[in-house]
Amino acid sequence: DAGVTQSPTHLIKTRGQQVTLRCSPKSGHDTVSWYQQALGQGPQFIFQYYEEEERQRGNFPDRFSGHQFPNYSSELNVNALLLGDSALYLCASSHREIKGYTFGSGTRLTVV
């Protein structure tokens, strides 16, 4: 049973560019959350998607947007990249009836 799958694993982008990260949730899960983890810090909540809608959002600018597809997979888009956007981006999936979260291995984004 595959867990949470994220792609790509690593990515290097230039300031001002746009990036799209992808996440496939664990089988049976219908909710996807995205987190940003800077080096040496704990993960910070970006937003959560359920039933293809954004349900909760953390303190991130509108440059961060997302989408959830009918098969529950999700994308995170970041526009106008800044150096400070360099981080590990984690996807976590869950089922609305279950309180636990399963994390993927993340996408390491480096902005130069």
Partner 1 sequence: EDQVTQSPEALRLQEGESSSLNCSYTVSGLRGLFWYRQDPGKGPEFLFTLYSAGEEKEKERLKATLTKKESFLHITAPKPEDSATYLCAQQETSGSRLTFGEGTQLTVNP
Nearer to partner 1 (CB atom), residue 3 or residue 16:
3
**In whole angstroms, how far apart are CA 68 and each of 12, 19, 74, 104, 112?**
24, 16, 4, 16, 28
Instruction: Compute the distance between CA of residue 112 and CA of residue 82 in angstroms, rounded to an integer.
Output: 8
Nearer to partner 1 (CB atom), residue 20 or residue 103:
103
Q: Binding of partner 1 at residue 45 (CB under 8 A)?
A: yes
Q: Binding of partner 1 at residue 60 (CB under 8 A)?
A: no
Element housing 111 (H / E): strand 107-111
Q: Which positions ≥6 away from 85 have C-beta within 8 Å?
A: 78, 109, 111
Minimum distance between the CB of residue 65 and partner 1, rounded to whole angstroms? 17
Q: Binding to partner 1 (CB under 8 A): which residues in 93-112?
A: 94, 99-106, 108
Contacting residues toward partner 1, per CB under 8 A: 4, 31, 33, 35, 40-45, 48, 55-56, 58, 88, 90, 92, 94, 99-106, 108
